[in-house]
Amino acid sequence: MSGIEDIRQRAWDFGLTVTTVILLAGLGVQSFLGTVYVWWAQRSIPGWEQSSYAGYVDAMNVIAAPQLIGLVVVMGLCVPKRLFSRRALIAVSAAMVLAGIGAFAVTGSLAGGVTVYLSLAALIQVAVVSLTAAGAKGPSYLTEGRLTKLGSGLLHLGFIVFGVVVSALQRSPFMIPVFWASTVLMVGGSAMSFYANRIAVRRSAPVEHDLDF
Amino acid sequence: MLSAPETTFNELRALTDTLAAIGSPYQAVLVVAAVLLGVAAFLPAARRWRGWALGVMTVLLLVGEMALVWFHYRLWQLAAVTDPATGAVVGRVAVPLWVESEKLFVWALAVAVLGSLMSRHRDELLSGTMVVTAVLTAGAALLGRPFTDPVPGFIGQFIGYLQASSMGGVAAQQAFEGMYNSMRFYYNAWYMWVHPPLLFLSYGAFALSFLATLLMIARRHSSYETTAYRWARWGYLPLTLGMLLGFPWAILAWSGESWWWSGKVNMSIMMWLLYTAYLHARLYLRRQGMWKTVAGLSVLSFLILVLTYATTYVVPGAHSYVSNGPPSEFAALVHEAVSGL
């Protein structure tokens, strides 16, 4: 990779990370405002829970859905960027979002549209995790070390699968097994990512270069 | 001759009296110890004894926890739930050790134990750890009062159940159904034995991460951030697992109740999102000025953690100890103002 390409790559990675942080913070702000609203409504509007809670939940879901999809889109753009050109990646991500919107238009169900999108994202993430486990050079992570990358891939896959559980499987007999799979992926992936140097066969102590800010 | 519910009621009262007899002076000792610990955290002359002071407080809290284990065991022996229709005992209520009045106590214990075990930047973190432990311990003794007012929600419900059982008829059947459901879906649910301790473990680790972040801000050196990160990842795993485990349980236990996007759930999600954002942002810690964002996210995450804890007592909902009361003056004013827009 040439110097200029490397700089562009780093700027792209940094931009995606900043976008991730903003989306996470955005969902956090929504949660906080939701809490304040619940507190106010419970104390101010008689019978609010019986009359208006369902509408409130629908509104929160509608606001959260694009942010959740945004997070998964960023995830999809981040890791497989060496497998495809950036233009191709953006095109694939846009096509997946359009497929979700199409499903929403056809079924009239927001959960249905989100589920279609997340299912497609899960398929791509499975491919990314498989390539990472096989040691392919294509997937590109912000972290170093194969176990760390594998852990990162698994926890992101778990996040997507958990999204599918919430959006599509709450009344399904498959909910519990799929939920447990997502839990194992998220927690196991996080642990693998955090403590890769301790569980690796060939251990290497992480090098820390201390610096003053 | 006393009926079975009356006998149980008398034994229950004797048990809570015994706990109070031990616990009343113990809670006073906790308050004094918390004050001394807080003072020792700031006294330069006490610097070399700080590790010992935290150790003594940890032992003191562990002794209290042992007393609570004994109390809960005796409570389980007494808390038989009997079907009035058949007279058969359908189960015993196993009240977890980290609900109602015991929550702050468990959090204090988690911080004290983790603080006693910490090694990296130990000397610099001891003062802050002592202050946090002292505040939580004093809060547990003065606000929670787990020894003089043990698990008041359960005791209140169980006494009501015993009273109704002694009357018989429809009241007994209704009280039995309420107690049985509480036992099955709340107190004896495996989730209640796993979810809260995981969260209190994570809260303890995040408190130490917060203290290390404050050190990073004060001294502007990356090694403190590394310590903060190590404690944050220690807290993130039980937090993630504990929160995830809540999902299928909530669907089962709160079927038909308004829990999705409720106040406590919202705040918990926010806390997890912020810690996730922090863990992402720190990947670029060495980028120019990025440490400020990382520090800001770490501090904000901990403040939201404290708010999340407090939400249980402020915002009504399925996951809350506060009920829908009459509108407060402030809320009424806000309502009036919004309605007028």
Chain B residues in contact with A168 (beta carbon < 8 A)? none
Quote the distance between the C-alpha of residue A122 and its chain's center.
10
Which pLDDT score is estimated for B214?
97
Which pLDDT score is estimated for B333?
47
Chain A residues in contact with B229 (beta carbon < 8 A)? none
- Name the strand (E) or helix (H) holding B77: helix B50-78
Compare CB distances from B223 to A142, A194, A210 and report the shortest one's residue: A210
Which pLDDT score is estimated for B293?
93
| Residue entry with tokens 């995606």 | A16
Domain of residue A38: give its range.
3-199
Q: Is residue A56 part of a domain?
A: yes
Tokens of residue A156, six digits: 């992101």
Tokens of residue B128, six digits: 């802050």
Q: Angle B134-B140-B145 (CA atoms, 0-180°, nearest 5)?
A: 145
Chain B residues in contact with A165 (beta carbon < 8 A)? 247
pLDDT along chain B (341 residues), means of 10: 82 96 96 97 93 97 97 96 93 95 96 96 96 97 96 95 91 94 92 94 97 95 94 96 89 80 90 93 87 95 95 80 53 46 40
Backbone angles phi, psi at A102, to 5 degrees: -60, -45
Q: Across the strands, what pairs with A137?
A: none
Compare CB distances from B280 to A20, A56, A186 and report the shortest one's residue: A20
> Over 50: is that where the pLDDT of A123 sits?
yes
Residues in B 208-227 with any Cβ partner in A closer than 8 A: 216, 220-223, 226
- Contact between residue B116 and residue B60 where contact means Cβ atoms under 8 Å apart: no
Chain A residues in contact with B304 (beta carbon < 8 A)? 28, 32
- Contact between residue B280 and residue A24 where contact means Cβ atoms under 8 Å apart: yes
Confidence of residue A138 (pLDDT cuts 50, 70, 90): low
- Nearest Cα of chain A lies from the Cα of B257 at a distance, in angstroms, of 9
Q: Across the strands, what pairs with B89?
A: B82
Compare CB distances from A186 to B240, B277, B325 and report the shortest one's residue: B240
- Nearest Cα of chain B lies from the Cα of A204 at a distance, in angstroms, of 17
Q: Which candidate in A35, A141, A166 is best for mutational testing of the B interface (most B CBs within 10 A)?
A: A35
| Closest to B305 (Cα-Cα) out of B249, B243, B224, B259 | B243
Asked if B205 reaches chain A (Cβ–Cβ under 8 Å), the answer is no
Compare CB distances from A190 to B237, B248, B293 and report the shortest one's residue: B237
> Over 80: is that where the pLDDT of A143 sits?
no
Rounded CA-CA distance A36/B270 in Å is 13
Backbone angles phi, psi at B119, to 5 degrees: -125, -40
pLDDT single digits (tens) B169-187: 899 999 999 999 999 989 9
Compare CB distances from B261 to A43, A60, A187 and report the shortest one's residue: A60
- Contact between residue A100 and residue A73 where contact means Cβ atoms under 8 Å apart: no
Chain A residues in contact with B332 (beta carbon < 8 A)? 43-44
Rounded CA-CA distance A32/A60 in Å is 11
Rounded CA-CA distance B130/B146 in Å is 21
- Nearest Cα of chain B lies from the Cα of A55 at a distance, in angstroms, of 11
Q: Which DSSP state fits B282? A: G
Cβ contact (<8 Å) for A24 and B325?
A: no
Three-state SS at B9: helix
Q: Is residue A170 part of a domain?
A: yes
pLDDT single digits (tens) A28-68: 999 999 999 999 998 889 888 888 999 999 999 999 988 98
Which pLDDT score is estimated for A204?
63
Rounded CA-CA distance A171/B36 in Å is 54
Chain A residues in contact with B293 (beta carbon < 8 A)? 21
| Residue entry with tokens 């787990």 | B146
- Contact between residue B93 and residue B180 where contact means Cβ atoms under 8 Å apart: no
pLDDT single digits (tens) A170-208: 888 898 899 999 999 999 999 999 998 888 766 666 666
Rounded CA-CA distance B25/B16 in Å is 15
- Contact between residue A71 and residue A20 where contact means Cβ atoms under 8 Å apart: yes
Compare CB distances from A39 to B220, B247, B314 and report the shortest one's residue: B314
Which pLDDT score is estimated for B316?
77
Q: Is residue A211 part of a domain?
A: no
Rounded CA-CA distance B272/B84 in Å is 45
Q: What is the SS3 string spanning B190-233?
A: HHHHCHHHHHHHHHHHHHHHHHHHHHHHHHCEHHHHHHHHHHHH
Compare CB distances from B260 to A57, A190, A213 and report the shortest one's residue: A57
Which pLDDT score is estimated for A206?
62
Confidence of residue A2 (pLDDT cuts 50, 70, 90): low
Q: What angle separates helix B4-42 from helix B122-139, to the nearest 10 degrees? A: 140
Q: Which residue of B has its CA nearest to A50?
A: B258
| Residue entry with tokens 């619940």 | A38
Per the structure, the count of domains in chain A is 1
Q: Is residue A118 part of a domain?
A: yes
Rounded CA-CA distance B260/B251 in Å is 9
Q: What is the DSSP string of chain A?
A: --HHHHHHHHHHHHHHHHHHHHHHHHHHHHHHHHHHHHHHHHHHSTTHHHHHHHHHHHHHHHHHHHHHHHHHHHHHHHGGGGTS-HHHHHHHHHHHHHHHHHHHHHH--HHHHHHHHHHHHHHHHHHHHHHHHHT-S----SS-SHHHHHHHHHHHHHHHHHHHHHHH-TTSTTHHHHHHHHHHHHHHHHHHHHTHHHH-SS--PPP----B-
User: Could you tell me the CA-to-CA distances from A32 to A28, A199, B266 in Å, in that order?
Assistant: 6, 38, 7
Q: What angle separates helix B222-253 from helix B263-281, to the nearest 10 degrees? A: 150
For residue A105, the tally of other CB atoms under 10 A from its CB is: 10
For chain A, what is the mean pLDDT? 85
Q: Is residue A206 part of a domain?
A: no
Quote the distance between the C-alpha of residue B315 and its chain's center.
16
Which pLDDT score is estimated for A1?
53
Chain B residues in contact with A34 (beta carbon < 8 A)? 261, 263, 266
Q: Is residue A207 part of a domain?
A: no
Residues in B 265-324 with any Cβ partner in A closer than 8 A: 266-267, 269-270, 273-274, 276-277, 280-281, 283-284, 286-287, 291, 293, 297, 304, 311, 314-317, 324
Which pLDDT score is estimated for B327?
43
- Contact between residue A139 and residue A80 where contact means Cβ atoms under 8 Å apart: yes
| Closest to A71 (Cα-Cα) out of A160, A170, A204 | A160
Cβ contact (<8 Å) for B220 and A20?
A: no
User: Could you tell me the CA-to-CA distances from A165 to A71, A127, A210, B152 in Å, in that order?
Assistant: 17, 20, 42, 36
Rounded CA-CA distance B128/B219 in Å is 15
- Contact between residue B67 and residue B147 where contact means Cβ atoms under 8 Å apart: yes
Q: Which candidate in A16, A18, A24 is best for mutational testing of the B interface (most B CBs within 10 A)?
A: A24
